[in-house]
Structures are given as structure tokens and as C-alpha cells.
Chain A
């Protein structure tokens, strides 16, 4: 991968990787760290991809794995309550706060389904769980989010 290609990948996918990380970790600084780590892996991998969708899929998959690694590290080393939230988080906080209050597995599934537009089958491949589990997670997330989504869609 040339530096130009890498720069284009950062331009195209950095926000997506950050959002996946944020929806998983719920903490701004950690999501930034994971984003850097993911792109460093991309650069070091010296790989080629068959399409943009292949790149996108690979980046999400690596991000999910890196988030799992970060969560494991946090559980061993840090009290989550000690980590400050970023004060200038987005303006449209209401739904975001609601989503971030969901358990991690539910919010990642909801994010990938509702925002990135992946099917339950694709999400199952991305997070390495059976498709039925993804459907179940989405149903639980949907139940919790139903009220606020109804209001936003009106």
C-alpha cells in the first residue's frame, strides 16, 4: 500500500472506524487510540484489497477485535469510572446517550445495522457470532430504543 493509498483510506474510513470503536467502548479517547491502532495495522499489513467494500469490512472486523482487546485490558487495569468522558461530545446527544446506555454488544449490533447498513448475516460475520444471536441483540436494542426512535422519525 502506497502512502497515497493509505492516506485515501484514512480519509475514507477514519470516521467509520472511530464510530465503531466509540459505539463499542463508549469513551472518546479510547476510541481514538483504537482508531490509530487499526490504521497502523492496515499500514503494517502491506495488504491489498479486492474492493472498497473488502477494505471497509476488514477495517470493521479489526476494529471490533481491537475493541475487545481494549475492554479486556481495561477490565484488568483500570476502573472505568476513572476515565473522563470528553466534554465536547456531539450535539445530538439524546439518542446517542440512549444508545451508549445499551450494553456493549447491543449497541455495536445496533450501530452496524442502523448506521452502517449491514445485514444481520454480515454483522454475524463481523462480530463472529451466529446470525440468530445478532437478531436477538437487535431485538433487545430495538425494544430499548423504540420510544426515542419513534419520536425522531416523526
Chain B
């Protein structure tokens, strides 16, 4: 809701070009210094890549079969600890890059036909099964996630560089409002959002996952599902009364990084049980 009078008055207020330059220069000059993290706190969780638990899903209908093998992240650490945001970092593990041959002509066309300056294109289907059919990629089987009510879904194709380097499948339950930015998505309100991220051979490697959450304190623990799938469970405790607690699960499926985010609207224990149920849904 913009008020015209306000718009007129405040739109004239602009930062001068000189100050913009100073801001950018300051960032460049301080580049070396700022790479030192202020309060990284390594956890004892999983310092070593675990033995791989198995399982391969050979997918019918794909141009090339994609093997998903559940594993662990090499390192998990809580990061931030600053005044404004906390979060966690996941890195390493048995990550594979997706061969481009797997991707459908539709994905390649989206990547090639993107308007200038628009690195991320989006496909929206009824659910992420439709997105999988469109893309040529079949995600790891999870009966519990498949059974969730679908509020909406999207597939983002990130083609920063020479072609599709990252595919992000997103599906959320009813009752969520979603806004899509250039890089990712945001959920608001109660519900569960599941994200599956895959990197292709055009990405040099699967990058370290830094997840920051402004206004939350963060603790992490490990969980191993009934099928031997390992998950990093993160509890986000709000430092403002207006925000709801969140529970997250990150699962490394080799070629595919799963991220499940649930808002806690009633009991934390019930929400945690529900999150475990979703992780247990992976075939392993």
C-alpha cells in the first residue's frame, strides 16, 4: 500500500552516487579481513563422511538414470552468533554433480531463452511431480512427502554462467504464502516447505550450504531414520515473540540436497515427530 503523497516525497530521497561507490569500495578493501568468521562454533556431530547407506533409485522415464545415495555432510557447524542472525553450515559429503544429459529439452530451452539479466527461470506446475516430468529429473522417493497436501510448487532453473547449473524443486503445503526472489523462496505462516536442490556438471562443485536466519537462535542435532537415512535436524527458536518456532531437516542424498522446513504452531514435540516422519519417508 503506497500512498501517492508519500511516494512523491520519499522517492526524491536518494543516496548519492559517491556514497554508493564508497560502500562498494569499502567492501572490496575489507575483503581479506572479513573472511574470518567471528564465532564459528564447530559441533562434534559428523566430522567424517559416513559410510554410505545405500540405495539407488533408478528412475523410469529419465533420459539418464540418476543414482541417489543417502549420506552425511562432512561438517555441520553453527555459524553467526552475531547480533542479527544465526544459522548453520553444511559442507562436504558424497555429493555428485548431475550430468546435463539428464535434463529435458524444456529445461535447456528455459536456460537458453532467458531474458537478459534474468539468471533464474521458473516453471510452475500443479505439484513437483509435474516439475519432475518437465525437467527429466526424478527426485528420491519419499512416500511421506508425496502424501503432504500441496499448496503450490515451483522449479527454479539457475543458469548463472553457461547453462543450467542448479535446479531447485520447491513444494509447500496449504496455508502458506510464498514469495519468490531471485535466488530462492520464502515461506510465511504455518506449514511445511520442502526444497530439493541439485547441481549439474556446470557447477564446479556442490557448494557449502550456509543458512542464516535473522531473528532466530539455532541448535542442531543428528537423526537417523528407520531406513538409515541421516538428517541434520535444526531447531530455530525465535528471539521475538511474534515469530513462530521452526524445525528444519537437511538430508544429503548424494546428488540431491533436501531441506524440509516446518513452522511449529502447537506442540514442539508433535512438530518434531512430524519432521521425523517425513525423514523416515525416504526409502534409504
Contact = CB atoms under 8 A, between A and B. Distances in A.
Task: Decide if A and B are genuine partners.
Answer: yes
A40 B27 contact: yes
Among A39, A50, A62, chain B packs the most CB atoms within 10 A around the CB of: A50
Q: How big is chain A's contact interface, by range? A: 35 or more
Secondary structure at the B interface, as helix, strand, loop or mixed, is mixed
Interface in B148-186: 179-186
Chain B: number of interface residues, binned into ranges: 35 or more
A114 B183 CA distance: 28
A47 B87 contact: yes
A117 B1 CA distance: 5
B20 interface: yes
Nearest to B241: A130
B85 to A, nearest CB: 6
Given A47-B80, A48-B210, A128 B5 contact: no
B276 interface: no
B163 to A, nearest CB: 18
Contacts of A94: 9
A32 to B, nearest CB: 5
Interface string B12-27: 1111100110111011
A72 interface: no
Describe A's contact surface by its main secondary structure: helix
Interface hub of A7, A19, A40, A115 (most chain B Cβ within 10 A) = A115
A40 B13 contact: no
Contacts of B211: 48
B114 interface: no
A47 B85 contact: yes
A105 interface: no
Interface stretch (B30-38, B58-66, B96-104): B30-38
A32 B23 CA distance: 10
B44 interface: no
B115 interface: no
A96 B9 contact: yes
Contacts of A135: none
Contacts of A70: none
A93 to B, nearest CB: 8
A9 B179 CA distance: 18
A15 B13 contact: yes
Contacts of A10: 20, 23-24
Interface of B: 1-10, 12-16, 19-20, 22-24, 26-28, 30-31, 34-35, 37, 80, 82-85, 87, 179-186, 210-212, 214-215, 240, 242-243
Interface of A: 3, 6-7, 10, 14-15, 17-19, 22-23, 32, 35-36, 39-41, 43-55, 57-58, 61-62, 65, 90-92, 94-96, 99, 110-111, 113-115, 117, 121, 124-125, 128, 131, 148-149, 152-153
7 contacts: A10-B24, A14-B23, A35-B15, A43-B27, A46-B35, A55-B181, A90-B9
